[in-house]
Chain A
Amino acid sequence: MPIEFKKKPGLVAYLTAGDPDLATTRDIALAAIDNGADVIELGVPFSDPLADGPVIQRASERAVAKGTTLTDVLALAKEIRAARPQAGLILFSYLNPVLRLGMKDFCARAAEAGADGVLLTDMIVEEAGEYLEAMNANKLAPVFLAAPTSPDVRLKAIAEASQGFVYAISRVGITGTQSSLTGDASQVVTRLRQFTELPIAVGFGISNAQHVRAVGEFADAAVVGSALVQLIEKTPRGQEAEAVGRFVAELRG
């Protein structure tokens, strides 16, 4: 199941697993896929999400409070894979839960669950030796973050270490919605493009269909996270999957 963005720009949907509960996250993921999401980023909730803004912080807190663990998220990934064999599936986590499970064990179980790749928020390329070895041994795609502040020498290393796609951060800062895109986003994509043929997805602050279209002007895919998580937070229980399905269809235009 290679990660593919058939219709440009592609759409990557981030969900905090276990918010409001694991079964609902599964239904939401399936609705997102059925309405045009190419890739699901399944977020492992963490007690101390320091790269995230208030929306994803709150979702993580709710999911952690419910006792959602990395093992639960791996089981959820397996269910989503079984139900939608064609969709891209990335596990998105802070490093500590992965270390606690064990890097090799985690990669083996992620592959067994049918994930295509992994993104670790606080893993930089210099520290990634053991991680990349375990990922390669399990034929999983490591996706690294590239930032507007990253100098070219770092972007090159990030591009070379990544598989599947490269995740370009649209602006300095934490995750969260915003009203408009900054010039940082296209610049980082242009600079990254010198070093890779891989698709480049742009995330952080991509909140509506207009943003997705704007990203399509210069990148291969848009990542929508906080806007989806916020929608889930605001929607009455039981109606989340339907609401997300409608929103993803709208993003797809």
Chain B
Amino acid sequence: MGGATGGVPVGVTAAMVSPAGQLRSAVGRFGVYGGRYVPETLMAALEELEAAYAEAQKDPAFQAELDDLLHNYCGRPTPLYYAKRLSENLGGAKIYFKREDLLHTGAHKINNALGQGLLAQRMGKKRIIAETGAGQHGVATATVCALLGMECVIYMGEEDMRRQEPNVYRMRLLGAEVRGVSAGSATLKDAISEAMRDWVTNVRSTFYILGSALGAHPYPMMVRDFHRVISREAKKQILEQEGKLPTAIVACVGGGSNAIGAFYEFIDDANVQLIGVEAGGRGTAVGEHAARFMKNGGGSPGVLQGTYSYVLQDEAGQIALTHSVSAGLDYASVGPEHAMLHDSGRATYTLATDDEALKAVVTLARTEGILPALESAHAVAEAIKLAPKMAKTDVLMVNLSGRGDKDMGILVKELDLKRVEAKG
């Protein structure tokens, strides 16, 4: 185990078809969502990328190289860890953590950055650009560029550079150039726009390693495919450890890459509940949260940055500002496949507030000795709410998408300011 392919057939057709063989999307569509809404200048590059990706998927050598690096360089497979103390304290379901936080660079992001980096190398592109919110995708991309000897430019909102400063230093240490973006709210959305402006300008030489299951086709599909390894491993592991599938899987949803990776191989297992957790921020008014699926929260279908999905926007179609204590969830739109899963009811989406996420960090740190990223802490917060309502025979799997070292500055400030009390 530990490969990106496992025993599941891959290829363009397989990528568009669910594991049960049901047609899921024809032209980069997830139900009505997805598609391609970009300036014409990018279309040739997207078509080139789509063709190169399809070809790479069919090439056993590409898959073998990716599998080898995921195993020997990144540390896959990641453990599926039974959190005994936390489960017992909560008095309900058995909680398992899929430990993506233990991957090289500290988050699931490396799965995709490595896949796209190898693809860029295969396409002969020497210059890499990427956006980053929390800095985890930026660090993963900078790491892959160092490994493969490629030039790397990372766009990051200035607000995010401030609050995730350790990751800025990590990227620079790895040899990447970090370019601050001051437009808009100076967060992830603005970093993506600036990365797209760079790509449209340098499209002939540059590969854009998009970090979430967002953007124009083929990105949402390709990013999802590179993260499918999470659920492929988890399914095998939970069957080994529990002899049954989980009752529910919980993952945080910013753009939605870790969540779609954790959900994907379970989509056709109708009895497995899929629960995405959005950032509830500090209030329900537009601008105070990043919960695209929240009722009356300002989210509705629209087009942002290349894809048709749920978008937080005003009545005139201007994109709303967002807030979350976690930079990685602080985004006005969401991956189009999640929009489809939301509408069909196959997955449900809930939220955790800033305070709940901060509290969950402390709880997990003191109960299990695990310091989760603030993003992942949103999923932990939901598990803390949910587990006590479940039976002791139920299994609740949480995708622990990243580790929290990067958040130390925020934690020191927020926990002190807000005096969050945590019970060990």
List the interface of chain A (C-beta within 8 A of B). Answer: 46-51, 53, 57, 61, 64, 69-71, 94-101, 121-124, 126-127, 144-151, 154, 158, 169, 172-174
Contacts and interface: CB of A to CB of B under 8 A. Distances in A.
Nearest to B195: A50
Contact of B318 (A47, A57, A71): A47
Given A50-B193, A122-B306, A173-B200, A100 B315 contact: yes
Contacts of B304: 48, 96
Contacts of B82: none
A126 B42 CA distance: 14
Interface of B: 27, 35-45, 183-184, 189-190, 192-193, 196-197, 200-204, 301-306, 311, 313, 315-319
B200 A172 contact: yes
Contact of B317 (A100, A123, A147, A158): A100
Nearest to A46: B318
Contacts of A94: 303
A172 B197 CA distance: 10
B37 A145 contact: no
Nearest 9 A/B pairs, CB to CB: A100-B317, A97-B317, A69-B316, A173-B201, A147-B41, A149-B44, A47-B318, A50-B193, A145-B40
Contact of B40 (A71, A146, A173): A146
A69 B313 CA distance: 13
A174 B197 contact: yes
B41 A95 contact: no
B115 to A, nearest CB: 25
Contacts of A122: 37-39, 303, 306
Contacts of B317: 46, 70, 96-101
Nearest to A45: B318
A49 B183 CA distance: 11
A147 B43 contact: yes
Given A69-B316, A96-B319, A127-B35, A51 B200 contact: yes
B218 to A, nearest CB: 14
Contact of B43 (A49, A51, A98, A124): A124
B189 A48 contact: yes
A96 B303 contact: yes
Contacts of B36: 124, 126-127
A182 to B, nearest CB: 12
Given A57-B183, A97-B318, A124-B36, A172 B302 contact: no
B269 to A, nearest CB: 33
A127 B43 CA distance: 12
A172 B203 contact: yes
A173 B197 CA distance: 7
Contact of B37 (A49, A64, A127): A127
A124 B38 contact: yes
B86 to A, nearest CB: 40
Contact of B302 (A53, A64, A99, A144): A99
Given A47-B319, A96-B317, A149 B204 contact: yes
Contacts of A124: 36-38, 40, 43
A88 B271 CA distance: 59
Contacts of A150: 40-41, 43-44
Given A100-B315, A147-B39, A172-B204, 6 more contacts: A96-B313, A127-B35, A149-B41, A150-B40, A172-B41, A173-B201
Contacts of A46: 317-318
Contacts of A123: 37
A127 B36 CA distance: 7
Pick from A71, A147, A149 the residue with the most CB of B within 10 Å: A149
B196 A169 contact: no
Contacts of A174: 197, 200-201
Contact of B305 (A48, A70, A151): A48
A101 B38 CA distance: 20
B40 A144 contact: yes
B38 A64 contact: no
Contacts of A71: 316
Nearest to A173: B201
Contacts of B190: 48
12 contacts: A48-B305, A50-B305, A61-B183, A99-B303, A99-B317, A124-B38, A124-B40, A147-B44, A149-B45, A169-B40, A172-B202, A174-B200
Nearest to B318: A47
A51 to B, nearest CB: 4
Nearest to B39: A51
Nearest to B44: A149
B303 A50 contact: no
Contacts of B305: 48, 50
A101 B39 CA distance: 21
A147 B41 CA distance: 5
Contacts of B43: 124, 147, 149-150, 154
Nearest to A49: B193
A99 B189 CA distance: 20
B318 to A, nearest CB: 4
